[in-house]
Structure 1
């Protein structure tokens, strides 16, 4: 008896079902972003009022908009020496730098975690030796580890990307290992009885089984990569949102501080929802049994 485990194909009517699933998820994602923004604005305003934050320090959402777009904002919203165009250039320029650093860290962390997870499953002694070390490193606060990493890898994009990658690495590693090990024993036995190697089991059964966990890990790691990049930028200098945030805080430009934080939160929410659409598209293209290799 032979068994062939293949990925789902998407042709004809399948393309239509995939497109419909993606369209539905995209609509839900847009609605989620809108609802999240409304809730965030309400919570932001209420907390400033409840804790009676001084207006010099606490800036409500409408003052953030004034900071970016008003040519003549209310007093204290933006330094007099800073025009709206300059405020936008600094804020959005820092945003693009951080997104680039976070993207490098995200790709590196996802790739390294996936390769390491595969090695853990293929070579059990490797997992027994290195998984405790990985968990030990995960338990060390990133704030304590980051300065050392910046000394080793430099305070440029490489060092920042390394810290962002570490934030991504550990959650993805654990989830993907669990996904790779979730294949039913009968499926593994069937492939081996028909002459398949451990690598065949990996390609035909384990990787398809881990696809949902891999995509879910990618989704939740996007905001983490941004936070990691901002932390590294804060510690390394005056580049990116983290560096600009540090500079604004030091100079008392609290309108700029709130603007950077608001942009970071907004981008994290949007990218998270974008990844949910990507996840839906990938799983729908794979087929209704994604993550459940067929038996037989």
Structure 2
């Protein structure tokens, strides 16, 4: 009976295929060339999508400034921001002013992204191994998702301390957690039942099936979670800077508005939008490269 199941599942096939490829240099060269072409197509598609998105944002921005009747003293368009940063007489000092703010926001975003993704992956694995853990913890995750973060931020800051890295990490984690967790859980739930049955036939338990089948197969969902989490991490960083630390772009936007420094205000918004788009597309490029390497990319379609 066991021999029949093993024969039906045919687990030695991948190893046989790898041996055949290693023994055939021409086939290996063709596979490498196909992967490079797929990666090139993915990269061109990502760059094209980024260019289209950037162009749409610029057009909408200019349309809002031009056709809504807002005073030019308050509203600054793309050309104004460009002149403020690069073409104006004081452009160098303006760049020096914005550089540390951008660096701080990037640091805070990376903290929220890392902690949020790690928490989401740990919870997704625990939920997959135990329905009792999922039933006990998921309502808390949903509660954190539904309650406005601004309303619970004073409690978070009271516990972690105002202006601390812990407050930045907690606020960023809350913003990133739910969408990342939902995406990773979806990927883990789509594992091949036949492959899991093969693991069980050979004596593997639920953790072995998760490690050998579910987690490797959830690669696309993991990268999708990372892509979704990038804008969330930036948003969480801005909230943490606004509510807790007072640093970075999030802490400076209110100051620029209160001091009527509208050029700096619009420049801050433009920079954070550009950074979010760049980070999103960097994650997408890395995703395409890894999935093409793993043979799981849809770029060849």
Coarse TM-score class (shorter-chain normalised):
0.7 to 0.9
Deviation at 1:18, TM superposition (A): 3.0
Name the CA shift for 1:104/1:15 in 2 (closer, same or farther; >3 Å). farther
| 2:52 paired residue number | 35
| 1:160 paired residue number | 168
TM-score relative to the length of structure 1: 0.87
Deviation at 1:237, TM superposition (A): 4.1
Cα distance per residue 1:126-169 (max 9 Å; x no partner)? 11111112111111112222232222223233311321122111
| 2:25 paired residue number | none
C-alpha RMSD of the superposition: 2.3
> 2: distance between equivalents of 1:215 and 1:231?
24
> Is the counterpart of residue 52 in structure 1 residue 69 in structure 2?
yes
Say which of 266, 279, 283 aligns to 2:287. Answer: 279
Task: State how many pairs are aligned.
Answer: 280
> 2: distance between equivalents of 1:208 and 1:289?
13
Unaligned runs of 5+ residues in structure 2 are: 23-27
> 2: distance between equivalents of 1:176 and 1:35?
28
Deviation at 1:171, TM superposition (A): 0.8
Contact kept? 1:238, 1:246, Cα under 8 Å: no
| 1:149 paired residue number | 156
> Is the counterpart of residue 174 in structure 1 residue 182 in structure 2?
yes
TM-score relative to the length of structure 2: 0.85
Higher relative contact order (CA 8 A, sep 6+): 1
| Within-5 A mapping of 1:240-255 | 240-255=248-263
Name the CA shift for 1:89/1:151 in 2 (closer, same or farther; >3 Å). farther
| Within-5 A mapping of 1:224-235 | 224-235=232-243
| 1:203 paired residue number | 211
> 2: distance between equivalents of 1:267 and 1:286?
28
Say which of 116, 119, 122 aligns to 1:112. Answer: 119
> Is the counterpart of residue 65 in structure 1 residue 82 in structure 2?
yes
What is the DSSP-based 3-state SS (H/G/I as helix, E as strand, rest coil) of the residue aligned with 1:208?
helix
What is the DSSP-based 3-state SS (H/G/I as helix, E as strand, rest coil) of the residue aligned with 1:196?
coil
Moved more, 131-140 or 24-33: 24-33
Greater share of helix residues, 1 or 2? Answer: 2
> 1: distance between equivalents of 2:139 and 2:60?
40
Contact kept? 1:218, 1:275, Cα under 8 Å: yes
Unaligned runs of 5+ residues in structure 1 are: 73-82, 291-296
> Is the counterpart of residue 21 in structure 1 residue 42 in structure 2?
no
| 1:266 paired residue number | 274
Name the CA shift for 1:69/1:238 in 2 (closer, same or farther; >3 Å). farther
